[in-house]
Structure 1
Amino acid sequence: MDDQLKHQLSMMTFGMSDLGECLEAARAIRDDDEESWISAWSERARSLQQRAESAERHGRRVSAGDAYLRAATYWRASLLHFSRSDDLRTRTNAISAYDCYDRYLALSGYPGESVRIPYEDSFLPSYLYRSPEAGREAPLLIFFQGRDAWPEDTRWLYDGAIRRGYHCLAVHGPGQGLALRLNELPFRHDWEKVVTPVVDAAVALEGVAPDRIGLMGLSFGGYLAPRAAAFEQRLKVCVANPGVLHWGESVRAGLPESLGDALAEGPEVFNAAASAVTARSPLAEWFLRDSSWKHGVSTPYDLFQEFDACDLTGIAGRISCETLVMDGAEERFSAGQARRLYDALDCPKEFMVFDGASTAQLHCQNGGTATAAEFTFDWLDGRL
């Protein structure tokens, strides 16, 4: 919860949150209490949405757009630490978030539009941001988030892209955002099956240079993007932020030793051990429930089988496009994985580490997104 609060505060730079509103929400949240989390953020979102609707009715477009934008942020925030998939709010809050976001785009003139990317017998909800600075043909950066965050919250990335003349396509993949909460699509380890239809759609877009398409994944996306790049040959560059070679190993590194030992004993022993741990730890209970929902499994053992399937060992060497692997000196969620991915690559590559001097040393540069944008796009410029 503390990490996610920092995430909300960091969006103040773009007018997507405000300090007093975030602190007021935080004051109402109790440790490890999902209900207090969703209630606090929903209250802020509902209040702002009502103000936005009133302003719009009275013709105050700027005030309405600004309030809709922050309302959308807080509707999304309400679901970041809430994983009761059978609770009606999981769906209604998501719909409210994007009703508000679309009204913001319509009123503000920000160059974004919602698109639906065909995917198997469903679609991937996405947003295309066209750069006003682009020429007749421009590069396109495709990106997605990871296990928790929403791509619309990653404004430092799409805003940084369009200001530099890149178009940007922000994708809700299976297991993420609206694709999970509305279309009920869970994660899959073979992420190339997700990215290939996205690239198919991208190359058909007017004004996109088909030979200048980049792919970036954040958090768990630091595994997903390189996995796709190992099979999708139309990518010019790939960025993993932070890089992850083996997702299962990174998750197991945070387990109690007893639970790690139980995993080797098979499903019955591990499921029983996991049940005992979750009875003592609200964080563990939330993580296993949340992850099981997002990966579409019903038992802790099956979940860890899914985690272990997310393994680039023996696959990373197939990546041919130039690849940037990012890491943070205080990375806690996948410590050591970025270096392992970098070492496994045979393509042109670079390793970028954010340390304390940069103030962007946390996971996905949380709280240091201005620095993240500077270094990310300085690397992309001239390559994409």
Structure 2
Amino acid sequence: MEQLLFPGNPQFWYETLRSMSHIAYGGADFGEVVATAERIEEGNYESWHDEWLATADRVAGEAQRALDAHHTVSARDGFLRASNYYRSAEFFLHGHPCDPRHDHAYDRSVACFRAAAALHTPRIEPVRIPYQGTTLPGYLYRADTTGAPRPTLIMHSGFDGTAEELHFSGALAAVERGWTVLTFDGPGQPGPRHRDGLVFRPDWENVITPVVDFAESLPEVDNSRIALLGSSMGGLLAPRAAAFEHRLAALVAVDGVYDLGAISVRSIPGDRAEAERRLRAGSDPALDARFEQIIAQDATARWAINHGMYVMGVDTPRAFSAAYLDFTLRDGLAEQIRCPTLVCDAAEDEFFKGQPQELYDHLTCPRTLMVFTAEEGAGAHCHPGAMRLSLARVLDWLDDTLTATP
């Protein structure tokens, strides 16, 4: 899709398109997004934060006034949009160390979402999922108030998404179709990273198994029909979990990722073994200088490396790239997945191009590859701008896969 705003900065444009995509399920208004974007200085993280924060504060204030006047629908809608705008405000603040302004915007995003959640019917319930001596934050969505067991979708994001954002990228759409939905943040994702300092781990099965345990304890969950959906980097994490957690009845990767290590080594001269050796070496000044050059020249890489150091809990760009090497489905892991699997692919993916096909090619379970195109407005990574289209196809696949038998 042509960059309609921020023509010289693809990362700023993608994040603006991401906010626009949430219009479909109440997470933004077009005029609010465009008016905010027009005030932002291209490439300036300070300007990005300040303008999105100003919009979020204004919308949240209006929502609160609506709530005080007992206009609950208006309040719910306003809090949802404000939550998403606060999320956008803190998006580029995750360097090493993390900008302290991140705390305020993140906390406001969560608070506004919870205010909106309390005004939904049925109420969206915040939950704490037991996990290794602490808990993971999440939300339980019920299709109705009967307590009847229903097919259930567990959802998590990836490198930079939040549990709250999942409301707009699948949770509400699934509830509309009669599903129970459980969303959560895992280690490295905003809630656990922000609250407990938990960083990403490649063995995601040790995250998903306690989440499935928790889901099975809920009366609204049909234990024989639990599906897992991972978005973005979650398109690798969820398949990794499914390779070991065989209680899952279906798996969706939006979009599929096979090997993050391939991304780490692609700009390093020599073969992969040599590139991996250099990434893991105690010292490599030449490679460190190369990373600094990439950060200076590539806006997307600058953000990804800064954020990556934060979510992986490391101090240098090279250490972040080395951490990526462990996030892979190579060595027969993809082949261990048993449940029916849907791999989504975006034809113009700027982050993981080619990876969905590679994951699909290694699967030995029942499998489907679903490609979204630029002509449909869905060609970008995770299909922002075409949420109704993409979620309809994904959730129809899940319905066909899991609900054929009443």
The amino acid of 1:237's aligned partner reads A
SS at match of 1:45: helix
SS at match of 1:182: helix
Q: Verify the 8 A CA contact 2:126 2:138 in the aligned structure 1.
A: yes
Q: How does 1:239-278 map to 2 (within 5 A)?
A: 239-253=252-266, 255=267, 265=278, 266=281, 267-268=283-284, 269-278=286-295
Q: Which residue is equivalent to 1:53? A: 64
SS at match of 1:215: strand
Q: Which residue is equivalent to 2:185? A: 172
Q: Which residue is equivalent to 2:19? A: 8
Deviations 1:200-228 (A, max 9, x none): 10111112111111001111011000000
- Call closer, same or farther: CA 1:108–1:135 in 2, change over 3 Å: closer
Q: Does residue 353 of the first structure (1) align with residue 371 of the second (2)?
A: yes
TM-score normalised to structure 2 length: 0.88
Per-residue deviation, 1:86: 3.6
The one of 327, 336, 343 aligned to 1:318: 336
Q: Which residue is equivalent to 1:200? A: 213
Per-residue deviation, 1:110: 5.1
Q: How does 1:5-154 map to 2 (within 5 A)?
A: 5-84=16-95, 85-109=97-121, 111-132=123-144, 136-154=148-166
- Call closer, same or farther: CA 1:352–1:285 in 2, change over 3 Å: closer
Q: Does residue 370 of the first structure (1) align with residue 388 of the second (2)?
A: yes
C-alpha distance in 1 between matches for 2:76 and 2:367: 41
Q: How does 1:267-346 map to 2 (within 5 A)?
A: 267-268=283-284, 269-313=286-330, 314-346=332-364
Deviates more, 1:232-241 or 1:276-285: 276-285
The amino acid of 1:323's aligned partner reads T
- Call closer, same or farther: CA 1:180–1:86 in 2, change over 3 Å: same
Per-residue deviation, 1:262: 6.9
Deviates more, 1:281-290 or 1:20-29: 281-290
C-alpha distance in 2 between matches for 1:70 and 1:38: 16
C-alpha distance in 2 between matches for 1:161 and 1:54: 30
Q: Which residue is equivalent to 2:7? A: none
C-alpha distance in 1 between matches for 2:294 and 2:263: 19
Per-residue deviation, 1:283: 4.2
- Call closer, same or farther: CA 1:251–1:354 in 2, change over 3 Å: farther
C-alpha distance in 1 between matches for 2:292 and 2:56: 35
SS at match of 2:164: helix
Per-residue deviation, 1:263: 6.4
- Call closer, same or farther: CA 1:210–1:317 in 2, change over 3 Å: same
Deviates more, 1:273-282 or 1:347-356: 273-282
- Call closer, same or farther: CA 1:132–1:216 in 2, change over 3 Å: same
Q: Which residue is equivalent to 1:186? A: 199
SS at match of 2:93: coil
Deviations 1:257-283 (A, max 9, x none): 69x987654442322322343345554
The runs of 5 or more residues in structure 1 that have no matched partner are none
Please provide the CA RMSD for this pair: 2.2
SS at match of 1:198: helix
Q: Verify the 8 A CA contact 2:126 2:137 in the aligned structure 1.
A: yes
SS at match of 1:124: strand
C-alpha distance in 2 between matches for 1:355 and 1:123: 39
C-alpha distance in 2 between matches for 1:110 and 1:270: 54
C-alpha distance in 2 between matches for 1:245 and 1:264: 21
Deviations 1:108-134 (A, max 9, x none): 435411101111122111011111298
Runs of 4+ displaced beyond 6 Å? 260-263
Q: Verify the 8 A CA contact 1:327 1:352 in the aligned structure 2.
A: yes
Deviates more, 1:233-242 or 1:125-134: 125-134
C-alpha distance in 2 between matches for 1:298 and 1:248: 18
Q: How does 1:193-232 map to 2 (within 5 A)?
A: 193-232=206-245
C-alpha distance in 1 between matches for 2:276 and 2:302: 17
The amino acid of 1:224's aligned partner reads L
SS at match of 1:366: coil
Per-residue deviation, 1:17: 0.8
The amino acid of 2:135's aligned partner reads F
SS at match of 1:383: helix
C-alpha distance in 2 between matches for 1:94 and 1:205: 29
The runs of 5 or more residues in structure 2 that have no matched partner are 1-11
- Call closer, same or farther: CA 1:376–1:86 in 2, change over 3 Å: closer
The amino acid of 1:178's aligned partner reads G
SS at match of 1:333: coil
Q: Verify the 8 A CA contact 2:122 2:142 in the aligned structure 1.
A: no
Percentage of pairs with the same residue: 35
Per-residue deviation, 1:48: 1.4
Per-residue deviation, 1:370: 0.8
C-alpha distance in 2 between matches for 1:281 and 1:46: 31
TM-score normalised to structure 1 length: 0.93
